[in-house]
Amino acid sequence: MALFDYIGYDRNGRKVSGSGEGNGQRAVISKLRQQEIFVTEIVAAGSKNRQKLLSRWRSSRVPIEDLAIATRQLATLLSAGLGLDEALTTVAGQLERQQLATALNHIREAVVEGEALHQALAAEGELFSNLYISMVEVGESSGTLDQALANLADLLEEQARLRSRVTAALAYPLLMAVVGTGVLLFLVGFILPKVTRMLIDLDQVLPLPTRMLITASQLLHDYSWLIFALLILVLLAARHWARTDRGRLLLADLRLRLPLIGKLNLLIATSRFSRTLATLLNGGQSLLSSLDITGKLLDNLVLQQAIERASRQVREGASLAEPLKKENIFPTMLVQMIAVGERSGELEQMLRRVADTSDQQIEMSINRLLALLEPIMILFMGGAVGFIVLAILLPIFQASQSLG
């Protein structure tokens, strides 16, 4: 009997991964089919292709909410006195997301075989961030793994709450934009061609708005496939450009300079930077290693480079506040609170206050943004519909006057 690792789909269409024993691949596949699992890839456990198989399975991150729940449960079980292997088994058995449960089972196997927990986490590819792995490593080395996991759970839960607030706030404007755009395209592409035939049959000089509307309708109706193809090409070219170093840098700078949205992006980055740095410092990481980890977690290249430059100056003996002030990117509040924290020896507490204050400002900024977006979108939709109605009614009104 040999052991094989597999990837496949269950009867509900969900992606699953696991291990199975059998006299060969066919025997394992046949056994899994009886369990209503359709296997797409299978390799022998311990083979060179096993890591490639697992890396494809783990290439996508688990939702932060699920990871926060698992981390909190693991911290609670460890603080209650359970062994690490038993705690991992218990948490994996309670998870609904198969991907994370399978990963925890693999981690438990590695831990039982003698690997450290942070090494087993690192072997899971992109499933766990560098921050997560570093915090666990510090907790293992200091004998405070349960506390390190509790700190990680706090951080993940706060990030999940912030993401949920932002997503919920932007859901309604996005829905309005999608529905409104769809309605306009439907009117211009399918309804207006029928109306324009009647307008053309009036046999009179049409007003400019009507001619513009007829031209747009004909273009959309006759060349929709070409417009769609050009749009796809433009999107693909833009995506390729955005992945270049120059494209990433320009887009990152633009995200910080856009009116209203730029300030919101900076506040979100400030909150994440402050809370993550405070968590790492509280977990026992040095300031330099904490800066390196935190900088890589920011999704803005301009801010990443600023943190890297600040880290180099700190390594040369400067305080953290000085190089951050010279960058002239981060909010003044962050720089001032870091300076106070460095002088008083309470840097972690100051960073947490900055994160809490930034979260409050994020909510106020979102509310202000929504207060502006909703009337702007209503005016835009009303203007577009009003233009269409005006373009249709003007020639009819002219025709009625000529008949009168």
Residues 176-202 have a mean pLDDT of 74
Largest Cα separation within the chain, whole Å, is 96
Q: Residue 57 has what pLDDT?
A: 47
Does the pLDDT of residue 52 top 70, yes or no? no
Q: For 211-246, how does the pLDDT look when each residue is reduced to its tens digit (9 = 90+)?
A: 887 787 778 777 878 888 999 999 999 988 888 888
Q: How confident is the model at residue 285 (pLDDT cuts 50, 70, 90)?
A: confident
Question: How far is Cα 95 from Cα 68, in angstroms, rounded to an integer?
Answer: 12
Does the pLDDT of residue 210 top 90, yes or no? no
Return the top range by mean pLDDT from 15-24, 100-109, 131-140, 349-358.
Answer: 349-358
Residues 177-189 have a mean pLDDT of 77
Does the pLDDT of residue 48 top 50, yes or no? no
Q: Residue 234 has what pLDDT?
A: 94
Residue 42: phi and psi, rounded to 5, are -150, 135
Residue ranges of domains in the chain, CATH in brackets:
2-57 (no CATH), 64-157 (1.20.81.30), 165-404 (1.20.81.30)
Helix axis angle for 261-282 and 145-186, nearest 10°, is 160
Q: Residue 13 has what pLDDT?
A: 55
Give the β-pairing of 15-22 and 2-9. antiparallel
Percentage of the chain with pLDDT > 90? Answer: 11
Residues 147-176 have a mean pLDDT of 82
Q: Nearest CA to 290 among 299, 281, 303, 302? A: 281
Residues 234-262 have a mean pLDDT of 88
Q: Residue 369 has what pLDDT?
A: 81
Question: How far is Cα 276 from Cα 297, in angstroms, rounded to an integer?
Answer: 9
Q: How confident is the model at residue 404 (pLDDT cuts 50, 70, 90)?
A: low
Residues 114-138 have a mean pLDDT of 81
Q: Which position has the higher pLDDT, 37 or 251?
A: 251
Q: Nearest CA to 14 among 97, 104, 93? A: 97
First to last CA, the chain: 96
Q: For 351-376, how does the pLDDT look when each residue is reduced to its tens digit (9 = 90+)?
A: 999 988 988 888 888 888 878 877 88
Q: How confident is the model at residue 176 (pLDDT cuts 50, 70, 90)?
A: confident
Q: Residue 40 has what pLDDT?
A: 67
Does the pLDDT of residue 189 top 70, yes or no? no
Taking the whole predicted model, whether its pTM rises above 0.85 is answered as no
